């Protein structure tokens, strides 16, 4: 019975995250607004930027409520907001309306869903599987753009913006709300067992967490690692055009999405074996080397290689931070604690892509942006050596796929 419930909760969380991944497919929608209403590229980007900021802030605020109300209530609210926001997008004829519908309403739903799914799934599985379960849940949001891109293109081509998003939002709302009803915290006896196994792990409230130097170190590491990945993701088509003269560079977005998802799964599983910090060091250093060489990738095969490495590393680091948050500060207040740490990703989503845009606007090349990102990654790697691994595993080795 326990194993079937574990799988049900895990699948429901994966489904919700997959549907919440529409955030990463905004570029398909922004082109439509530019063509229909004559918006500038900057104006069409504002709803996406707003959604990133709102979702990251919502994770903390929602986490405070989640720790008292539980995942089912929070996910029910989050999925309703996500679906309603998408339906309103079709009626957004002005930039402020699009920022309100997609950035604020849908962005709030995405933030709540991101915050509530990971702790709910992790609590159902043994402590030694935190990494792989985290990786499986957050991998689905990374690969969502591969699913959403053709669907959105078809809906907009067949029904237009208003009817297309009304239909899309309705399906997302209904599907994700149904998934939410299958998510719950495990029975108290299971939670007590996990707490006993992790007796050395102290559950810290976010106020106490903010007094620890480790939080600020992890925050900087998360921001630096995320900025480099989001910089590449946000400028891939332009990079492909400038460096390889490839007009079909949008295909790289699909490639990096798949590699991002794969990196999250593999990184989560690997961190359970070698430790979160050791994995981070490998990822940060290899990503720094990759970015330092990125300016030399001037053929399609070379770009494919660089994008694969960048996607795998970005995904692996993304899976390590939720798991290390649980390692350091426990699961009791995970929602609020990781919500605070996740704000580093929100900041990275602003300064990473903007930094690259500023560099290419002033130099006509991305070389300086690659170098700055590589320096940040080396800085993150250096900071990681000032932290200590905190793992609370059983002694015996258990295959990462057991009990799934």
* Those residues with Cβ within 8 angstroms of residue 204's Cβ, 6 or more apart along the chain or in another chain: 212, 328, 329, 330, 333, 337
Mean pLDDT to the nearest integer, 357-370: 90
Buried-exposed string 231-242: b where 16+ CB fall within 10 A, e elsewhere: bbbbbbbebbeb
CA distance 342 to 256: 21
pLDDT at position 396 over 80: no
CA dist 251 → 25, 137, 330 (Å): 13, 24, 40
Measured CA to CA, the distance from residue 342 to residue 113 in angstroms comes to 13
Integer Cα distance of 130 and 327 in angstroms: 9
Q: How many separate helices (H) and strands (E) can be counted in the chain?
A: 15, 0
Degrees to nearest 5, angle at CA 222 with 217 and 228: 130
What is the pLDDT, as a whole number, of residue 316? 94
Given a contact cutoff of 8 angstroms between Cβ atoms, the answer to whether 365 and 295 are in contact is yes
Q: How many CB atoms lie within 10 A of CB 98?
A: 25
> Cα(392)–Cα(119) distance, rounded to whole angstroms?
17
Please spell the DSSP secondary structure of 85-113, one letter per residue: HHHHHTT--SHHHHIIIIIIIIHHHHHHH
Q: What is residue 171's three-state secondary structure?
A: helix
Distance CA 321, CA 267 (A): 11
Is 70 exceeded by the pLDDT of residue 198? Answer: no
Neighbours of 364 (CB within 10 A): 9
Q: How far apart are the first and last CA of the chain?
A: 13
Radius of gyration of the chain (CA): 20
**Which of residues 391 and 333 earns the better pLDDT score?**
333
Summarised one tens digit per residue, pLDDT across range 129-149 is 878 888 888 888 888 878 888
Tokens standing for 29?
Answer: 């929608």
Which domains are seen in the chain, by residue range?
A: 2-194 (1.20.1250.20), 198-384 (1.20.1250.20)
Percent of the chain with pLDDT over 90: 48
65, 85 contact by CB (below 8 A): no
Contact of 314 with 355, CB cutoff 8 Å: no
User: What pLDDT does residue 395 have?
Assistant: 37
Q: What is the mean pLDDT of the chain?
A: 87
- Does the structure show a pLDDT above 50 at 374? yes
For 246-271, what is each residue's pLDDT tens digit? 988 778 888 998 999 999 999 988 99
Q: How confident is the model at residue 189 (pLDDT cuts 50, 70, 90)?
A: low
User: Cβ–Cβ contacts within 10 Å for residue 177, how many?
Assistant: 19
Phi, psi of 177 (to 5 degrees): -65, -40
Whether the Cβ atoms of residue 19 and residue 145 lie closer than 8 Å to each other: no
SS3 301: helix
CA distances from 229 to 66, 162, 168, 283, 380 (A): 29, 33, 28, 12, 13
pLDDT digits (tens, 9 = 90+) for 318-360: 999 988 998 999 888 888 898 899 899 888 988 888 888 888 8
Nearest-angstrom CA–CA distance, 15 and 76: 13
Q: What is the pLDDT of residue 354?
A: 81
Question: Is residue 194 left, alpha or beta, with left meaning phi > 0 and alpha meaning psi from -120 to 50?
Answer: alpha
CA distance 112 to 69: 13
Share of the chain above pLDDT 70, in %: 92
Q: Which residues contact 143 (CB under 8 A, 6 or more apart)?
A: 18, 21, 257, 258, 260, 261
Q: What is the pLDDT of residues 54-89, one digit of tens each?
A: 998 898 888 888 777 889 999 999 999 999 999 999
Nearest to 121 by CA among 43, 17, 205, 271: 17
């Amino acid at each position: 019975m326990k194993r079937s419930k574990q799988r049900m909760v895990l699948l429901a969380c994966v489904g919700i995250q997959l549907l919440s991944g529409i955030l990463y497919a905004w570029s398909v929608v922004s082109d439509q607004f530019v063509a229909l209403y004559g918006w500038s590229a900057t104006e069409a980007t504002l709803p996406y930027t707003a959604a990133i900021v709102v979702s990251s802030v919502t994770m903390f605020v929602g986490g405070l409520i989640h720790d008292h109300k539980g995942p089912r209530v929070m996910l029910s609210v989050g999925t309703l907001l996500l679906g309603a926001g998408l339906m309103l997008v079709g009626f957004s004829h002005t930039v402020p309306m699009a920022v309100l519908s997609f950035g604020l309403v849908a962005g709030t739903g995405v933030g709540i869903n991101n915050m509530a799914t990971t702790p709910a799934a992790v609590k159902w599985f043994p402590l030694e599987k935190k990494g792989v379960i985290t990786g499986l849940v957050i991998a689905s949001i990374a690969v969502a753009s591969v699913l959403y891109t053709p669907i959105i293109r078809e809906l907009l081509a067949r029904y237009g913006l208003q009817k297309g998003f009304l239909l899309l939002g309705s399906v997302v709302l209904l599907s994700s709300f149904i998934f939410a009803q299958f998510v719950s915290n495990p029975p108290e006896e299971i939670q007590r067992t996990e707490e006993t196994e992790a007796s050395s792990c102290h559950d810290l409230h976010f106020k106490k967490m903010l007094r620890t130097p480790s939080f600020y170190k992890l925050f900087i590491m998360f921001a630096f690692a995320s900025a480099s990945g989001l910089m590449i993701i946000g400028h891939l088509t332009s990079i492909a055009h400038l460096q390889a003269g490839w007009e079909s560079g949008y295909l790289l977005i699909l490639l990096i999405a798949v590699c991002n998802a794969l990196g999250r799964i593999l990184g989560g599983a690997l961190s359970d074996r070698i430790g979160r910090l050791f994995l981070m060091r490998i990822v940060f250093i290899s990503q720094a080397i990759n970015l330092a060489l990125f300016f030399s990738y001037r053929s399609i095969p070379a770009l494919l290689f660089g994008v694969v490495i960048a996607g795998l590393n970005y995904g692996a680091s993304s899976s390590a931070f939720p798991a290390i948050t649980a390692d350091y500060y426990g699961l009791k207040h995970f929602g609020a604690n990781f919500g605070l740490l996740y704000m580093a990703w929100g900041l990275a989503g602003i300064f990473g892509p903007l930094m690259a845009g500023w560099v290419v606007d002033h130099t006509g090349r991305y070389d300086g942006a690659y170098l700055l990102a590589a320096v940040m990654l080396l800085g993150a790697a250096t900071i990681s050596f000032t932290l200590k691994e905190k793992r609370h595993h059983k002694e015996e080795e258990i295959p990462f796929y057991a009990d799934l």
